[in-house]
Amino acid sequence: MSFEYFIGLRYLRSSQGQGFISLITLLSVAGVALGVMALIVVIAVMAGFESDLKSRILGVESHLIINRNQEDFTDYKPVLDYITTIDGVESAAPYIYSQTMLRSSRSVYGSVLRGIDPGHPVKIPGSFDKKILDKMSGTDMNAGIPGIILGKDLALNLGVFQGDFLYLVSPAGIVSPVGYMPSMKNLK
């Protein structure tokens, strides 16, 4: 028997008449082992969750957003051309970002509208299928109604499904003889 095992067994085994101390030692070692095991499992799960969360967020969100705080960003083309020349930039596209309301036949919900130009060449993140995006963002050939892509929760809250119609209500409206009128657009 090696010296290490001899010392370990000497302190783990109790002498005669002290069996309770051996039980306490056994429970203490088992508790520490269980705690370390739980800590390792939690760290492994959180590391996996973190990488999954990052890939989901970065799959939908832009890594970098350039905007103007005080005014509209109307002369974006030179900036866009410069950004696409930078090494490591895979894709860049202009988009609009606005708070709106969506009204379906069942309910009304506030939303954040992010609109991209379907004619602008842009790489779609891995979470979107380009064919589905092209199909859904196109217009209804018969009615000339533009398409919109909704998140799952927003669609459930509005009570709409693929192919249903809804209204986009923008707070940036017009002043008419009867007062302020929000602008509305029918979408599919």
Q: Round to whole Å and give the CA distance between 134 and 119.
A: 10
Is residue 134 predicted with pLDDT exceeding 70? Answer: no
Q: Round to whole Å and give the CA distance between 81 and 159.
A: 41
Is residue 105 predicted with pLDDT exceeding 80? Answer: yes
Q: DSSP readout, 104-115? A: -SS-EEEEEEEE
Helices (H), the chain: 3-12, 19-60, 77-84, 130-137, 152-158
Res. 140 pLDDT band, cuts 50 70 90: very low
Per-residue tokens: 37: 């095991």
Per-residue tokens: 159: 């009570």
pTM: 0.53
